Amino acid sequence: MIYGVAILAGCFLVGTVVGELIGAVMGVDSNVGGVGVAMLLLIIVVDKLVKSGKIAKASLDGLSFWNQMYIPVVIAMAASQNVLGALTGGPLAIIAGIAVVVISWACVPLLSGKQKEKESSYSNAAIRGEADA
């Protein structure tokens, strides 16, 4: 199980380093897309390992554990937000924040085009374990 967690940690750290490098090249003092890079890396690495049969089920369980810890982490994240700051930021902050979300919502269908929900193409392979974990 620790191997799976280690693979995850390795991809995370490589992605973070790459993100810092991209940031440095762009002249921004922040991690640019490091998490996205790490995600793509993990998808590719796990795909290769599974296809070549070099990964044990126990290792996949290590990945699966953190996969399912995601919602608890998000709840802890929500509980650590500066909600008071959002509510007391004055009318400009509140109105601009609401407007940007509503207008962006309206733009989603324009950009994504007409997509059908294709259950078979992704849902089976997606988050393993309980459906609503």
Q: Where are the alpha helices (DSSP H) in 27-130?
A: 34-51, 57-68, 70-79, 83-87, 90-112, 119-122
- In the complex, least distance from residue 57 CB atom to other proteins, rounded to whole angstroms: 13
Look up residue 131 and give its DSSP letter.
T
Joined tokens for residue 101? 């979300």
- In the complex, least distance from residue 4 CB atom to other proteins, rounded to whole angstroms: 9
- In the complex, least distance from residue 9 CB atom to other proteins, rounded to whole angstroms: 8
Contact residue for other proteins among 31, 54, 55, 56 (CB under 8 A):
31
User: Does residue number 40 form part of the binding site for other proteins (CB under 8 A)?
Assistant: yes
Question: Which residues 62-121 are close enough to bind other proteins by CB under 8 A?
Answer: 63-64, 66-67, 69-101, 103-109, 111-118, 121
Q: Are 26 and 32 in contact (CB under 8 A)?
A: yes
